[in-house]
Amino acid sequence: MNLSELAFSDGQVRGIRSSLSELVVDFTDWQEKKWEIVFENAIGVESFSIEGEELDKVEERIDEVLIERSRRIAQEPDAPLKCFSFYSPWRDDPLLTVVAASCLVRPYD
């Protein structure tokens, strides 16, 4: 499943886990269905107390300053990266931004 197919409005991030090769966001949608949002080759993350916050939307962008900063710090100047930013309905700035090569969504078992 693609990230764009998931309903974020009224959903919540329950937790964030990371390893050397991926970052996983545990997400519960408005129907209480649980999902894992898996970011592959994640090399950057910026988070501001997102756990338990109600979400409104997620944006996927390729023109964020955080991408260039992540490439520089990771010493991967040509890495094909995207920014995935999670927003609350009450704030203009994202509560979570993940810099990664790709993303997939799967039901939580």
Distance of alpha carbon 84 from alpha carbon 24, whole angstroms: 12
The pLDDT value given to residue 79: 87
70 contacts 44 by C-beta, under 8 angstroms = yes
pLDDT of residue 108: 84
Greatest alpha-carbon pair distance for the chain in Å reads: 41
The angle formed by the CA atoms of residues 79, 60 and 14, to the nearest 5 degrees, is 105
Beta bridge partner(s), residue 30: none
Which pLDDT score, from 0 to 100, does residue 4 have?
Answer: 82
The one-letter amino acid code at 68 reads E
The whole model's pTM is what? 0.88
Q: Tell me the per-residue pLDDT of 6-61, one tens digit each, with 9 for 90 and over.
A: 888 888 999 999 988 789 999 999 999 999 999 998 988 899 988 888 899 999 99
Asked if 48 and 95 touch (Cβ cutoff 8 Å), the reply is yes
